[in-house]
Amino acid sequence: MTDYQPDETSPSSPQVIVVGRANIDITVRTPQRPQPGRTTFASAPATTTAGGKSLNQARAAAGAGARTTLVANAGTDEWGTFLQRALTDAGVDVSYFQLIPSAPTGVAIVEVTPDAENHIVLALSPATELTADQVRDALRRLHAPTVLTQLDLPPDAVHAVLQHHRAETLIGNLVPHPTLGSAVLAALDLFVCNEHEAAAILGRHHAEPTTAAQELHKLGPRAAVVTAGARGAAYSTAERTKLVPAPHVHATDTTGAGDHFLGTLTARLTQNTPLGQAIVDAVTVATAVIGGD
């Protein structure tokens, strides 16, 4: 990734295009997860915030200084309008963030336990899932050196991203849609996932994130990164495999940390930062999120 050189772009054109999903997060903090047939009382009032992997990543990339456009959909309800406003406030271009008439916006229920772990249930809104035509139209009209996409989108939408050859760097995230399989990783310049997602792809959990990163790299991407929570993040390229440790903090909530990591990493690569240093910067930002800074 150190040879990455973005094309010259006009001041108004995006540097990063994020393709994926946006939804509302309803977060509750609980002393423990509910047992079957029992009710657990939250330790604080529920909060409603803008969320979704790609929305979070787009906001993080914009916060790290990259001109960023999000390609995603939401409904024409109050929540869709809320998401659009949150993106605009964060400096993300919403020209291709569409509000679909009569469609509900997706919702994620996030339970945060005292150990700072999050347990998420996402209620997708099928009517707001990206279509291949929407993806092709956006990428045909936009030009950015970097495209970051969720690989668990509907297969036609993912194929539309992969067939887009104008980006210098194509980054994929999450476990690929089941009908795509791990073969899709070979089309990527960079693949990023967490330890649990790596285990789902590789069929087994590796105690060392560096081993998981190496195994993912063998599946074809030019580079693979595995985030490992408090341990930091491991990466593997043709030249090296390395663990970037995370500074120690008292974790309060891990929700969104991986998205801040990836958004920052994407911005840094677009800014010509070498991969190793970009990961150091991304780990620092993600650690601050975990610690509540």
Alpha helices in the chain (DSSP H): 53-63, 78-89, 132-141, 155-162, 195-202, 209-217, 257-270, 275-290
Average pLDDT, the chain: 92
Task: Report pLDDT for 177.
Answer: 94
- Cβ atoms of 19 and 154 within 8 Å: the answer is no
Has residue 241 got a pLDDT over 50?
yes
Domain 16-21+52-78+92-97+130-290 bears CATH identifier 2.20.25.160: no
Has residue 293 got a pLDDT over 60?
no
User: What is the DSSP track for 80-118?
Assistant: HHHHHHHHHHTT-B-TTEEEETTPPPPEEEEEE-TTS-E
How far apart CA 154 and CA 133 sit, in angstroms, is 12
Has residue 50 got a pLDDT over 80?
yes
Task: Report pLDDT for 251.
Answer: 60
Has residue 9 got a pLDDT over 60?
no
Task: Report pLDDT for 87.
Answer: 98
Task: Report pLDDT for 252.
Answer: 62
Percentage with pLDDT > 90 across the chain: 81
Give the number of residues written for the chain: 293
How much is the average pLDDT of 258-275?
A: 97
Instruction: Give the tokens for residue 53.
Output: 């992997």
Q: Which residue has tokens 């590789």?
A: 202
Contacts of range 193-196, beta carbons closer than 8 Å, 24 or more positions apart:
193/225, 193/226, 193/227, 194/226, 194/227, 194/228, 194/229, 194/258, 195/226, 195/227, 195/228, 195/229
How much is the average pLDDT of 120-139?
A: 97
Has residue 10 got a pLDDT over 80?
no
How much is the average pLDDT of 253-259?
A: 79
Task: Report pLDDT for 74.
Answer: 98
Has residue 273 got a pLDDT over 90?
yes
Task: Report pLDDT for 140.
Answer: 94
Task: Please state the domain extents for the chain.
Answer: 16-21+52-78+92-97+130-290
Of 130, 172, 158, the C-alpha closest to 265 is: 172
Model confidence at 183, pLDDT cuts 50, 70, 90, reads very high
Question: Residue 115: is it exposed, middle or buried by C-beta count within 10 angstroms (0-12/13-18/19+)?
Answer: exposed
Has residue 55 got a pLDDT over 80?
yes
How far apart CA 17 and CA 25 sit, in angstroms, is 22
Has residue 43 got a pLDDT over 90?
no
How far apart CA 135 and CA 137 sit, in angstroms, is 5
Secondary structure (3-state) at 4: coil
Question: Residue 6: is it exposed, middle or buried by C-beta count within 10 angstroms (0-12/13-18/19+)?
Answer: middle
Has residue 5 got a pLDDT over 50?
no
How much is the average pLDDT of 29-49?
A: 91
Question: Dihedrals φ, ψ of 87, to 5°?
Answer: -65, -45
Model confidence at 111, pLDDT cuts 50, 70, 90, reads very high
Has residue 250 got a pLDDT over 70?
no
- Cβ atoms of 4 and 168 within 8 Å: the answer is yes
Listed range (10-19, 155-164, 245-254) with the worst mean pLDDT? 245-254
Task: Report pLDDT for 82.
Answer: 98
